[in-house]
A = this chain, B = another copy of it.
Amino acid sequence: MGKVVVLLSGGLDSATTLGYVLSRGNEAVALSFDYGQKHSLELESGRQIAEHYGVRREVFRMDFSFASTSSLTSSMEVEDRPIEKIGNDIPATYVPARNSVFLSISSAYAETLGFDSIAIGVNALDYSGYPDCRPEYINAMETALNLGTRAGVTGRLRILAPLQYLTKGEIIRMGISLGVPYALTRSCYRNGKKACGRCDSCKLRLRGFMDASSEDPIEYQHLPDFYSSYLENRASP
């Protein structure tokens, strides 16, 4: 049992991470980041998820609009591409050093609260594209944060990444068994009331529900063909 600062974006992975951390009997405080992300509706999802679990949630605000190379923080359009193309390179949605900034600020919160751990929902699918989701990065950051904080000098600060080696399908299977409120989560990179169903994040999420033999409870503006076919096959086996 530990005391854990859980990074909670409002997406599926971070909600599952929070559900997992709590299921293991840990105390948790959720931390969300309002950094000028295009998909700022995720912050409202974060609020609802924390409320669902009855955990305290803090929002840290900062302005990443200088990051003109990312389609999540600039006027650059979020691109749509076939699901097969996802994961082969660093995508335009990559925000420079985002997890380093988030983990650093989380370590400051953890130290201030007297907490011993930080939990982050990085996972196997992400790290094929985002460098700051790779296990070797997470390990290196844990080393650096321990050297650079009072918490690391007087004790040990751990970074928990419970989803690290799971696919999206495995994450969702685990989350369903833990009762994670997926209807409250939001993964879309666009900020429409309904998820777009066209961006990388929507497609990976929908394929995850397909792989978990389940159905995504949230609403979509559009469903990609692979998911429509899957729903039809489910309806009439």
CA gap between A22 and B67 in the complex, in Å: 25
| Docked-complex contact B148 and A109, CB < 8 angstroms | no
Given contacts A96-B111, A144-B140, contact A60 B58 (CB under 8 A): no
A231 beta carbon closer than 8 Å to chain B: no
| Docked-complex contact A148 and B137, CB < 8 angstroms | yes
Would you list which residues of chain A between 20 and 68 have a CB under 8 Å from chain B? 58, 60-64, 66-68
| Docked-complex contact A111 and B97, CB < 8 angstroms | yes
| Docked-complex contact B144 and A137, CB < 8 angstroms | yes
Give the size of the chain A interface in residues (CB under 8 angstroms).
44
Q: How far is the CB of A131 from chain B (nearest CB, A)?
A: 5
Q: Which residues of B contact A149 (CB under 8 A)?
A: 96-97, 100, 131-132
How many copies, total?
Answer: 2
Q: Which residues of B contact A62 (CB under 8 A)?
A: 60-62
CA gap between A47 and B81 in the complex, in Å: 44
Q: Which residues of B contact A64 (CB under 8 A)?
A: 108
| Docked-complex contact B147 and A66, CB < 8 angstroms | no
Q: Which residues of B contact A98 (CB under 8 A)?
A: 108
Q: Which residues of B contact A151 (CB under 8 A)?
A: 96
Question: Dominant SS at the A interface?
Answer: helix
Partner of A153, one of B61, B68, B131: B131
| Docked-complex contact B67 and A112, CB < 8 angstroms | yes
Q: Which residues of B contact A101 (CB under 8 A)?
A: 101, 104-105, 108
Closest B residue to A106 using CB positions: B97
CA gap between A144 and B148 in the complex, in Å: 12
| Docked-complex contact A61 and B63, CB < 8 angstroms | yes
CA gap between A101 and B94 in the complex, in Å: 18
A69 beta carbon closer than 8 Å to chain B: yes
Contact code string A96-138 (vs B, CB < 8 Å = 1, else 0): 1111110111011101100000000000000000011010110
Give 17 CB contacts A-B under 8 Å: A61-B63, A66-B108, A66-B109, A90-B153, A94-B150, A96-B111, A96-B112, A97-B148, A100-B149, A103-B104, A131-B148, A131-B149, A132-B147, A136-B147, A137-B148, A140-B148, A141-B147
Q: A90-B150, A132-B149, A143-B144 are in contact. List 5 more A-B contacts (CB 8 A).
A: A64-B108, A96-B151, A103-B104, A131-B148, A140-B140
